[in-house]
Structure 1
Amino acid sequence: MEKRLCYGCLKPGHSAKDCRHRHLCDTCKGRHPTCLHDDNHTKAKHVNIDESATTLSLSVDTKDPSANTSMIVPVWVSSISNPGLEKLVYALLDTQSDTVFVDQDVSQGLQTKAQPVRLKLTTMIGKDALMHSERVSGLRVRGYDSTILIDLPPAYTKDCIPVNRKHIPTCETARHWNHLSTIADEIPPQLECEVGLLIGYNCSRALAPKQVILGGDNEPYAVRTDLGWSIVGCSSPNLELPLIANMCHRVVIRELPPVTPSDAIRVLESDFKDVSKEAKAVSQDNILFLNMLKDGIQRNAHDHCEMPLPFKEKPHLPNNKQLAIVRLGHLKKKLLKDEKYKGHYMKFMNKVIEKGDAEVVQHEGKEGEKW
């Protein structure tokens, strides 16, 4: 690279894409010099290290009282490497997510081993964004009053878990409903801890219902999992629904593999790949256009080639004469300020006119065809 040698033949004076004497690798028979061969690059072609994740957030923080609660339970989270260090957090049991997310501060507080990753997020409106995160392995959880430990799949860190705290069910929520009053003592009041986990259905054991208590048609129901009781639905029979706008964010996340030296070589090799003519795909639109050219191309009276334009429908062009005049005025000011630029410009334009590449339009043209 420092000597500016060709990546195809190691000679100076041209780039790889213009190389006509590319070397053949003695190791893999690829179109690159043997000294640029990389075994890791060859093996990496058969390894797919992309991972995907999906999560659905159904909450927005407002000052109004919440009319609904969800599957949010208090849990003790720890790591296999340091089981003695536990942290109390709320966990959202999300049946619409296929991934586990953990609050970044919680992960750091547990002193877990984390691997930096890049995540590609796709939202409901189709916009992609890159996010730096960490993959944490070896997490496990148990219910607030339980000794049953559940191992979690690898989790991704996030600066916050998007859950409205007003959606957390409490013992008071159960007491508001006759059919749920029997489990009021088994649900703690709201605790002073953060929402630190989102557990998706890739950990089905944490979401599996052990017992369900149903109510009427518009009444909430209670679900007991190994992590405790949660209540889904209206939080109180006497609570009027506030007129607030809730948001639903559908987010698809894909883990991007880190850039390796083999990726760089792959990009370099792409500069001198052989592409046969037979490999080029021709669309039906291309075929129609080629047939149109074959039948419609001709020479006019000035010995210029004329060809039809490939419009499916002839466009209506707005008359932009006023805009052209404004631009011409700007060009005139620039020429008056810079004599050197003016000299180069006039010399170039005189050549264009002398060659006949530019000519004066004599007719006015039709409306919708002026540009």
Structure 2
Amino acid sequence: MSTVREKSIKERTFHVTTTIKGCIKCKEGHTLSRCSEFIKMQPLERGFYVKNNNVCFNCLTPGHSAMECRVVQSCRVCNRRHHSLLHLPRRVTTSEHKEPNQPSVSTESNVEEVKVNTMIASHHISEHRVALLATALVIVKSEEGHATVLKALVDKGSQACFISEKAAQILKLRRYPTNKIVTGMESMKVAVKQQVHIQVNSRWESDFSLPVRAYIMSKPLTTHIPETKITRINKWSHLSGLNLADPDYSTSGTIDLLLGVKEYATMLQEGLIKGPPGTPCAQNTSLGWIIFGEISMKSDINENTSIVMHQQIETDSEQDINMQDFLKRIWKINTISSRTLSKEEQQCEEIYEKTHKRDKTGRYIVKLPFKNEVHKSIEGDAKTIAMNRLLQLERRFNKDPHLKKNTQTL
């Protein structure tokens, strides 16, 4: 009988909350690593500028040092702990310009052009704009029939669904064991051990029912969405009269359910309404009209927070690529501690060193360690006792042929 081997999958979640302040050099809406004025400078001048302005040598972001930087990526030329734009060619004399306590910069033998690929978020938020993410109020039912209304984030950039621990307890969901790894930005990993099966129903379409497999997260799925209460929604005339999936989309609330791209494609319907610049869009779905987009609003806050959600599922081939990283993490955790070997362990080491060899096929052969001392029975000579019991059993069989026949049958 043939069997089908299921491919094991590993969940990866990327959830990042970033603070965008703009370029500290030209005050434009980009990072320092993408600043044309900064790129035109010589590497040595960039290093002095970064040091004098208290900017991280690794990620070119102010507010922390390279020792405290949590960004995994380093120099693409020498893989040392500094940004690629700060990489210096080898044997460049810097003693005349070097300042005390300046972080060391790696070098190479030849001067070469460095191509820097900077990873940025999928959207940028200026000082007076807020990103509005699509949310919906849905009716969630368990396998036992328990139901409640949850606020869900509709994220078409996710390949999996997640539910909060709080919601799982409210619904008294039946939990199924699983073994997944949720990986976030900066290589933070969280093990997911449980999954649930739920049914998502619409508040507007009674015949719409969506079965969902969700993973339970012990920590909050996101921050409150939106970050602050949105005003002036009564001036968005293009949204009037719509059956909104989340009537309270302008009020900050907790997200207890995250629906991925598969669920988004299932609930999607025809109908997209775009408003004037600075107003959100509306997309028709089976859950109602979801509201999303970048909106303009008055705010005295100098910094704005953006939330980027993305999740991907790795196949077996992708897991093989990450096996090197997995082994490195194991080596870092399982440090070898020196200890004194016992007498028996020392004997085993000696037997291995004296007897191990390798045959023509490449297999290793080693003599098994045995204890030399004779183990005696607590009742005396074990061989004599065994022989007496055997003779006693033969005499019993001679007296009772029926017992002998039954024993032989067994």
Place the TM-score, normalised by the shorter chain, in its bin: 0.3 to 0.5
Report the TM-score, using the length of structure 2 for normalisation: 0.43
Report the TM-score, using the length of structure 1 for normalisation: 0.47
